[in-house]
Amino acid sequence: MKLDVKHEVTMIKVLIVDDSKLARLVLMKVLTADPEIRVIGTAANGEEALRFLEKPPRGEIPDVVTMDMMMPGMDGFEATRKIMETHPLPIVITTSSYKPQEVEKMFRAIEAGAVTILEKPGAVAHREFAAACKEFSDTVKVMAGVKVVRRWPRDKKKTPRPAATPIIHSNHSVLAMGASTGGTGAFQQILTQLPGELPAPIMMVQHIAGEFIPGMIQWLEKTTGFPVHLARAGEKIQAGHVYIAPDDFHMGVMPGGDIELSRSEKEEGVRPSVSYLFRSVARVYGKKAIGVLLTGMGRDGGQGLKVLRDAGALTIAQDESTSTVFGMPAEAIKLGGAQYILPLKEIPIRIQQGLGLEPRPDNSE
């Protein structure tokens, strides 16, 4: 007797939270066009989302939540904070607006535990609409597999910046870092654990929509205490300052410490490229550089970190257990570019040691 065995496809279950009925319909159409995604519910604000999660229909718990920011009643930031405290799930912030108030809340939601920010697909008539829809649904699927942890309500008192004591002369003159998906939160956590009087400039590439960069800069400056700048061609990098690559420009450095910006070809499909920055830093600083490759989709940065290591630089890749997406660090490790493979919490400690500083024990939990 021949049995007809049906193999059930694992479906990714999504909850859409958005106050706009039209936006909910569009996102539902975009997501359900993917045969691996099923929308199990929608909510018009944070209160509805929490009620859904407390008593999910048919007992179905979503694998991922898409979250709008500006909603009546409980907005996206408060909803993210409460969900991460009570029903921790991967939350993807979605937006079609770049007003300062909304952008600030987006990055506060990342701080509260959201995994990434996505632009909502544009108007149907837009010539790149199909590609935008695919990128949106593909990212939602990847985020559904992210491991999240419960966030506990935090004391609103400002945590003092950790102090560090110089112990030896530092042989490192610049810190170069790169990331993609999950990187904004990782950057913020590293910067908050570094002392303000850092004896080296920090150059950073983050794959993110250009409209979010000004808000990211303001958020990082406000929450880390570092002076954070949008990189400008010809500007001389200074110790203790952070420089972010602008949208659609590769960022490098020239002999003497002047920033170089380039519109040369994309690398691994992106511009700015982390590998471009790493190669530039390797040429100018060689063994006097520190390179750090953090969480992100794709392969960008892997080849560049290998170039840095071959030049004698100290190189670090974030480990799989703490990466939102273990794509970019995995590529660097595969190529032999990572001298150290560390969980996120240990990366600022190793940076300080590389800069000749003795970090104090981290007692924050």
* Helix, coil or strand: residue 37: strand
How far apart are the C-alpha atoms of 282 and 291, rounded to whole Å?
9
- Judge whether 345 and 322 are in contact, CB under 8 Å: yes
- Is 362 in the active site? no
Strands (DSSP E) contained in the chain are 12-17, 37-43, 64-68, 91-95, 116-119, 164-166, 174-179, 202-206, 228-230, 242-244, 250-254, 258-262, 289-293, 314-318, 340-342, 357-359
DSSP letter assigned to residue 224: H
Residue among 176, 149, 128 at smallest CA distance from 288:
176
CB 219, CB 104: distance < 8 Å: yes
Catalytic position from the list 68, 300, 319, 323: 300
Q: Are 231 and 245 in contact (CB under 8 A)?
A: yes
Concatenate the DSSP letters of all residues of 312-340 into one string: T-EEEEE-GGG-SSBSHHHHHHHHT--SE
Instruction: Name the DSSP class of 215.
Output: H
End-to-end CA distance of the chain: 60
Q: Is 264 a catalytic residue?
A: no
240 secondary structure, DSSP code: T
Of 137, 180, 273, 275, the catalytic one is: 180
Residues 315/291, Cβ–Cβ less than 8 Å: yes
Distinct helix (H) and strand (E) counts, the chain: 11, 16
180 is catalytic: yes
- Active-site amino acid positions: 180, 207, 300
